[in-house]
Amino acid sequence: MRLEPDAAGSDAGGMPGLLADKVLVIIGGTAGLGLSAARAVIAAGGRVVIVGRDTIDGQAALAQLGDSARLLSADATDPGTAPTAIAQALEAFGRFDGLYHVAGGSGRSEGDGPLDLLTDSGWDFTLRLNLTSVFYSNRAAVQQFLRQDSPGAILNCSSVLGLSPSPHFFGTHAYAAAKSAIIGLTRSAASTYAPKRIRINALAPGLVATPMSTRAQQNPEILDFIRSKQPLDGGRIGNPTDLDAAVVWLLSSGSEFVTGQVIAVDGGWTVSEGQLP
């Protein structure tokens, strides 16, 4: 079972040049899905500002990405982070064309869980991490596109749990609520800003091998469940690179007639029952 992306990085899903001259901000771009996407963006001809909380991880990511990337060490839940990242993109590369918001995470350790066990602090923590941060970054991006009077693209990372619950192993209701709300925000904002040629879409990944999913990766029962829940390609956990082609396309002019859509990259999760052990 493949759990880690190829060390060589992504080939941009076979779409070199699709992001030529584009400058993107990736909120949560120093590890996992975001770092894989940053590699793909650069392979497709773009340049990026990556944002992450961990300075060491960020510096390691920057070393991989080279001169086409800049790093901002900051917290996505700070309302000043996204405006600062966009300003850095303008200063370093002279333009801003799109934003990919990946940052988020589990609130399980803070009290997220099924509704009868979900704590107030778990709810507040999980929604701030996974939903409020998206509001901050999307607002900043839209405001900049309007100032520029230019088209732009926003891509938000939701989850299959916002569309297709799986309570036995993944019963964290604040997380599901946040990821579902991202879909509502995405579609509502897409409707409002379509006349301005600002496109806003979302991805809904299945279970992917990232630092956040370590618990699942190490649980034999969950791995057995995933064989039937994500049956595509042998029933495996996804790789971050599985999302890269969709990211590149949705942030490029190749999808300029697409907005308000939610694309599940899930190995079949949303169309499969999954057999419990």
Q: Phi and psi for 85 in degrees, rounded to 5? A: -65, -40
CA proximity to 250, closest of 189, 176, 200, 192: 200
Which of the residues 100, 136, 175, 193 is marked catalytic?
175
Residue 30, Cβ neighbours under 10 Å: how many?
28
Do 65 and 50 contact (CB within 8 A), yes or no? yes
Give SS3 for 64.
Answer: helix
DSSP, res 102: -
Active site annotation includes 175: yes
C-alpha to C-alpha distances, 51 to 2, 125, 150, 224, nearest whole angstrom: 27, 20, 23, 34
Do 206 and 239 contact (CB within 8 A), yes or no? no
Question: What is the set of active-site residues?
Answer: 175
